[in-house]
Amino acid sequence: MSSSKPVQLERAIIVGCGLKSDSFSELKESMAELEELAYAAGAEVVGTAIQVLPKYVPATLIGSGKVEEIKTLLEETNATLVVIDHSLAGSQSRNLEELIGARVLDRAQLILDIFAQRAQTYEGKLQVELAQMMDQLPRMVGGWLGSHSRLGGGIGTRGPGETALEMDRRRIRKKMDLIKAKLEDVRRNRAQYRQSRKRSKVPSFALIGYTNTGKSTLLNRLTQSQVLVKDQVFATLDPTTRQVFLPEVNSAVVTDTVGFIRKLPTHLIEAFKATLEESGEADVLLHVIDLSSPSMEAQMKVVDNLIHEFKWESKPIIYVFNKVDKSHIEKQMRVKKFPRVFISALTGQGLDKLKKMMSEEVKKLSQEVELYFPKDKEFKIYELGKEAQISRTENAASGTVCYAFLTEGQLSKWKEFLQ
Ligand SMILES: Nc1nc2c(ncn2[C@@H]2O[C@H](COP(=O)(O)OP(=O)(O)OP(=O)(O)O)[C@@H](O)[C@H]2O)c(=O)[nH]1
Ligand SMILES: [Mg+2]
């Protein structure tokens, strides 16, 4: 008999800290997000502390008074975990753990832990393992292998493989080399697969955007698929590609991938680079934005910065403002991004408009050409019609002339019929 015991949530205290010069609303938004992240990792937030400082304390990041406050809060709430909404150096983590007497994680480690729990594919797991090791290595000051509290399990100690906490530096480096080699292998295979898709030159779209904005819901809507949708940060980790049928241009593909978040750990970006680069290979980007979020502007900025970092600015981008069903109409008026479309992936509102815009982008990637099919090859016109938009046909003396929109790849495929 299988008994499904309710999962025991870890009790956590989250700590926000910023400088006097930082924006306080940004600090609060980031904290609200940290609570979501903690929940996604399997923790219940039982206490909160915030400190705004003139400058950070090198040894502990936050001031000694705040450390005491957290210690008291910990005792009062029976929490076992403290998460700081900032990056911590190895020595800072160690000092804080000693002073507070509980496990202390920073935001990046919490995100890594969520990724470690969610990674499904072989490649995803390798990427997470690599990111965790990259995170751990510089923290191992003077042979410190992580505190004892951390060896007992719980958030921040999990990994797809043997965790870095159990290894020494030399072994970590060796293991990292091994993982990198394995990743190279997987990527070579995938690159070949992508190459074959490129050769057939199906126009491609990539859904990118902040986490929880509705990318997977939109993929499902566009392609009648059933990928996982959850009201949770980082529901999707591994990329999925599906076919979509667009008016006039016929078939194209859409890829859904991992979402972005502010202060995304750099190790994670590095480890997931290949996955993310796949989005960069798409012909057109669909930047999905949650119109209903009070943090919409900040979220868009994070994604825009990453677009810049990955050098994707030169790509055509459609700004897809999602969740119109639960946002104020005035908010639409304030949007200044173009080209844009307002949709609800949930109700289907605006989907036709979006598909039309996607078709327009595909058409821009293609050019109208004239093809001639002699009588004995006229059966090929049917195949052409499935791949591309035929704008008109004319009967000629010994065959048919077709005018069609072809992409570059299609041009080479149909070159024997080009006029
Ligand atoms: N009201 C409303 N909710 C939506 C809409 N689109 C998506 N959602 C909800 O938003 C939540 C997140 O949706 P997902 O599709 O998982 O979002 P995602 O961008 O793929 O998120 P990650 O994979 O975690 O980055 C789910 O609870 C969806 O049901 C919409 O148009 N309207
Ligand atoms: Mg998703």
Are 220 and 353 in the same domain? yes
Which residues share a beta bridge with 373?
Answer: 400
User: Is residue 231 within 6 Å of ligand 1 at its C-beta?
Assistant: yes
User: Is residue 235 within 6 Å of ligand 1 at its C-beta?
Assistant: yes
Lowest pLDDT segment from 137-151, 300-314, 404-418: 137-151
Whether the pLDDT of residue 146 is over 60: the answer is no
Are 317 and 212 in the same domain? yes
Does 130 reside within a domain?
yes
What is d(CA 310, CA 317) in angstroms, rounded to the nearest whole number?
Answer: 14
Pick the more confident residue, 314 or 271. 314
Domain range holding 260? 201-363
Task: Tell me the average pLDDT across 86-107.
Answer: 93
pLDDT at 38 (0 to 100)? 96
Does 196 reside within a domain?
no
Of 323, 348, 363, which closes a domain? 363
Does 61 reside within a domain?
yes
Record the tokens describing residue 364, joined without a space. 């821009």
* Cβ burial 53-83 (10 Å sphere, 16+ → b, else e): eeebbeebbbeeebbebbbebbeeeebbbbb
DSSP state of 147: -
* Cβ burial 339-352 (10 Å sphere, 16+ → b, else e): ebbbbbbbeeebbe
User: Is residue 211 within 6 Å of ligand 1 at its C-beta?
Assistant: yes
Does 188 reside within a domain?
no
Q: What percent of the chain has pLDDT over 90?
A: 62
pLDDT at 151 (0 to 100)? 54
Does 229 reside within a domain?
yes
CA separation, residue 223 to residues 243, 244, 345 (Å): 6, 5, 12
Are 221 and 359 in the same domain? yes
**Which residue among 217, 260, 289, 353 is best mutated to probe the pocket of ligand 1, counting the most ligand atoms within 8 A of its Cβ?**
217
Are 34 and 156 in the same domain? no
Does 280 reside within a domain?
yes
Q: If phi over 0 gives left and psi between -120 and 50 gives alpha, with beta otherwise, what is residue 192?
A: alpha
What number of H helices and E strands is found in the chain?
A: 15, 13
Are 284 and 387 in the same domain? no
- Are 292 and 262 within 8 A, CB to CB? no
pLDDT at 188 (0 to 100)? 85
What is d(CA 97, CA 141) in angstroms, rounded to the nearest whole number?
Answer: 14
pLDDT at 1 (0 to 100)? 39
Are 359 and 212 in the same domain? yes
CATH of the domain at 266: 3.40.50.300
Are 124 and 239 in the same domain? no
The residues, ordered by sequence, that sit 6+ positions from 58 with a Cβ below 8 Å of its Cβ are 92
Residue nearest to atom 21 of ligand 1 (CA): 212
The DSSP element (H or E) to which 394 belongs, if any, is strand 389-396
Does 265 reside within a domain?
yes
Report the candidate in 407, 400, 409 with the shortest Cα–Cα distance to residue 419.
400
pLDDT at 6 (0 to 100)? 52
Task: Tell me the average pLDDT across 288-315.
Answer: 94
Are 309 and 268 in the same domain? yes
Are 347 and 241 in the same domain? yes
Record the tokens describing residue 47, joined without a space. 């206490």
Are 221 and 235 in the same domain? yes
Are 25 and 101 in the same domain? yes
Of 112, 137, 153, which closes a domain? 112
Ligand with the closest atom to the CA of 210: 1
What is d(CA 96, CA 59) in angstroms, rounded to the nearest whole number?
Answer: 9
Does 189 reside within a domain?
no
pLDDT at 281 (0 to 100)? 86
pLDDT at 145 (0 to 100)? 47
The DSSP string of 313-370 is: TTS-EEEEEE-GGGS-HHHHHH---SSEEE--TTT-TTHHHHHHHHHHHHHHHSEEEE
CATH of the domain at 53: 3.40.50.11060
Expressed in angstroms and rounded, the spacing between residue 219 Cα and the centre of ligand 2 is 9
Are 350 and 306 in the same domain? yes
**Into how many domains does the chain fold?**
4
